[in-house]
């Protein structure tokens, strides 16, 4: 095991192993404290960052944080590493990489070429040396575009997931939320529902209703019922109208087993969905969700800090060329991210790391009601993420998910972001909004007319 040392504040510090060094260099958060791996003092944290800055990037290719022999995520990362893409930065230290990323030499083109040459652990390491503004500045330069029925990502674009969850999966209640979102220009990333009841019949019923609505209105978007990926495979086999298989994933094999998945199951779902050929402008079909702290909550963290393991989950996601990836940044609870400051920092880290690794990264800007955070913190984070070029955010009616009992963003928040930053939805969805006379949803002013809502009313049963 390598030993790392550094001096800060006149005191010498020793770090036994790369995992310990990374954990000690991480900004303070409650999950690492709970795991007993966080820096004990600010001086120790500064010393760890000095040592980390001097660490050659190549060392991440020789020391596995989670054992290669027993972890398929480690094998996926190391066996799939693109050494040709890594070559331009192979002689750099972590500190050198930070300086280069912030330089004019790191353009959208060079960053895209580099992404497959960076391992998740390298990206996690460099993020620990960055201030918030650094995370924003670099992420803004990373352009990652994905396509299914529309084109998500790209300069000047901000997409939204319309999340019309209902505690009883009532189609009429779902329809009201969908209507609310569409009238305010939400839903181009996906209309995605977390089902209250995870049985296959119920999930198929919701999918059929959403797909019928999409066809009735000709909406250039995709739908998803966020059931377990094995349920989605069975729905596909039964002929159900699946656009996107969904799955929560994590950064270790053991944590993914806790979610009931492995890489083979994810490959099966990806292949099954692509075989349906339901996309019109692309074939990115997978939707992944992540969140700092998931491996720790499953006692599957191997002594590695939660942010580094979050990046390893992104290493899993990028193999499948997904349409959407988002971190549910404040959802897991105060045991992992205690307050608004920690949630904001984690959201910026997750977005930066995902984009640098080449992912179409979104964020559920959210918190649970027992976290020391409020909607002002979410306003701050959503504004910073939009400045950073986030691909999409999640919106729910009134910022309050009545089924999952947590706070997220409202449809009105997306309108604020569009008007403040001049960002627009996916181009195909933007054209649809204009055809449907939904100019105000795009920030327009002046007289406008409501669209014909008869198809929505009939399809979702609102007239009954």
Beta strands per DSSP E along 311-428: 324-328, 361-364, 392-396, 400-401, 406-407, 409-410
Tens-digit pLDDT profile for the chain (464 aa)?
899 999 998 899 999 999 999 999 999 999 999 999 999 999 999 999 999 999 999 999 999 999 999 999 999 999 999 999 999 999 999 999 999 999 999 999 999 999 999 999 999 999 999 999 999 999 999 999 999 999 999 899 999 999 999 999 999 999 999 999 999 999 999 999 999 999 999 999 999 999 999 998 999 999 999 999 999 999 999 999 999 999 999 999 999 999 999 999 999 999 999 999 999 999 999 999 999 999 998 899 999 999 999 999 999 999 999 999 999 999 989 999 999 999 999 999 999 999 999 999 999 999 998 999 999 999 999 999 999 999 999 999 999 999 999 999 999 999 999 999 999 999 999 999 988 877 555 555 444 444 555 555 565 555 54
One DSSP character per residue, 280-334 reads SS-----EEEE-TTHHHHTT--TT--HHHHHHHHHHHHHTT--SEEEEETTTS-T
E strand or H helix that includes residue 74: helix 72-79
Question: What is the spatial distance between Cα 11 and Cα 352, in angstroms, rounded to a whole number?
Answer: 32
pTM of the model: 0.95
Going 135 to 112 to 88 to 79, the CA torsion angle's sign is positive
372 C-beta neighbours (distance < 10 Å), count: 15
Q: Are 152 and 420 in contact (CB under 8 A)?
A: no
The CA distance from 382 to 413, in Å, is: 9
| C-beta separation of 157 from 426 below 8 A | yes
Query: Which residues, other chains included, contact 159 with Cβ-Cβ below 8 Å and sequence gap of 6+?
Result: 152, 153, 188, 189, 362, 391, 392, 425, 426, 429
Q: How many helices (H) and strands (E) does the chain have?
A: 21, 15
Map residue 151 onto helix, strand or coil. Answer: strand
Residues near 180 by beta carbon (within 8 Å), at least 6 away in sequence:
164, 397, 411
Res 196: pLDDT = 96
Give the pLDDT score at 464: 46
Position 30 scores a pLDDT of 96
DSSP designation for 117: G
Phi and psi, residue 325, nearest 5°: -135, 130
Predicted local distance difference test score (pLDDT) of residue 9: 86
Q: 217 and 236 in contact (C-beta within 8 Å)?
A: no
pLDDT of residue 437: 79
Closest CA relative to residue 409, chosen from 388, 393, 387, 385: 393
What are the tokens at 277?
């050929």
Which long-range contacts (C-beta less than 8 Å, at least 24 apart) are formed by 398-402?
399/375, 401/163, 401/165, 402/165, 402/166, 402/167
Nearest alpha carbon to residue 367 among 413, 334, 410, 393: 334
Nearest-Å Rg of the Cα atoms of the chain is 22
Contacts of residue 264, defined as CB under 8 A and 6 or more positions apart, other chains included, come to none
Are residues 256 and 73 in contact, defined by beta-carbon separation less than 8 angstroms?
yes
Q: What is the pLDDT of residue 436?
A: 85
pLDDT at 386: 98
Q: What does the block give as tokens for 343? A: 């949630």
């Amino acid at each position: 095991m390598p030993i790392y040392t550094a001096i800060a504040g006149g005191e010498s510090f020793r770090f036994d192993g790369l995992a310990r060094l990374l954990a000690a260099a991480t900004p303070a958060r409650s999950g690492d404290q709970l795991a007993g791996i966080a820096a004990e003092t600010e001086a120790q944290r500064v010393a760890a960052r000095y040592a980390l800055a001097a660490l050659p990037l190549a060392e991440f290719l020789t020391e596995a944080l989670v054992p290669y022999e027993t972890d398929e995520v480690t094998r996926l990362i190391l066996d799939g590493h693109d050494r040709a893409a890594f070559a331009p930065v192979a002689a750099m230290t972590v500190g050198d990489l930070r300086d280069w990323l912030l330089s004019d030499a790191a353009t959208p083109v060079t960053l895209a070429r580099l992404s497959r040459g960076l391992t998740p652990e390298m990206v996690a390491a460099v993020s620990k040396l960055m201030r918030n503004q650094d995370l924003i500045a670099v992420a803004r330069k990373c352009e990652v575009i994905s396509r299914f029925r529309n084109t998500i990502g790209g300069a000047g674009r901000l997409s939204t997931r319309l999340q019309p969850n209902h505690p009883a999966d009532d189609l009429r209640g779902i329809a009201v939320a969908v209507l609310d979102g569409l009238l305010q220009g939400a839903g181009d990333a996906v209309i995605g529902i977390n089902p209250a009841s995870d049985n296959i019949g119920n999930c198929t019923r919701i999918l059929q209703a959403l797909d019928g609505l999409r066809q009735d209105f000709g909406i250039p978007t995709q739908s998803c019922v966020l059931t377990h990926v094995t349920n989605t495979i069975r729905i596909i086999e039964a002929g159900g109208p699946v656009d996107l298989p969904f799955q929560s994933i994590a950064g270790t094999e053991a944590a993914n087993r806790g979610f009931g998945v492995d890489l083979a199951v994810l490959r099966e779902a990806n292949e099954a969905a692509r075989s349906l050929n339901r996309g019109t402008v692309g074939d990115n079909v997978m939707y992944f969700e992540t969140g700092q702290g998931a491996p720790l909550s499953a006692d599957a963290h191997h002594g590695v800090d939660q942010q580094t393991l979050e990046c390893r989950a992104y290493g899993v996601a990028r193999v499948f060329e997904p349409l959407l990836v988002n971190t549910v940044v404040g959802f897991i609870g105060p045991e992992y991210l205690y307050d608004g400051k920690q949630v904001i920092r984690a959201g910026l880290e997750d977005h930066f790391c995902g984009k640098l690794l080449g992912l179409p990264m979104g964020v559920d800007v959210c918190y649970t009601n027992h976290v020391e955070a409020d909607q002002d913190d979410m306003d701050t984070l959503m504004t910073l993420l939009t400045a950073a070029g986030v691909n999409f955010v999640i919106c729910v009616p009134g910022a309050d998910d009545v089924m999952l009992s947590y706070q997220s963003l409202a449809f009105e928040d997306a309108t604020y972001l569009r008007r403040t930053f001049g960002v627009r939805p996916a181009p195909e969805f933007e054209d649809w909004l204009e055809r449907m006379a939904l100019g105000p949803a795009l920030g327009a002013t002046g007289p406008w007319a409501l669209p014909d809502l008869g198809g929505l009313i009939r399809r979702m049963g609102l007239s009954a």
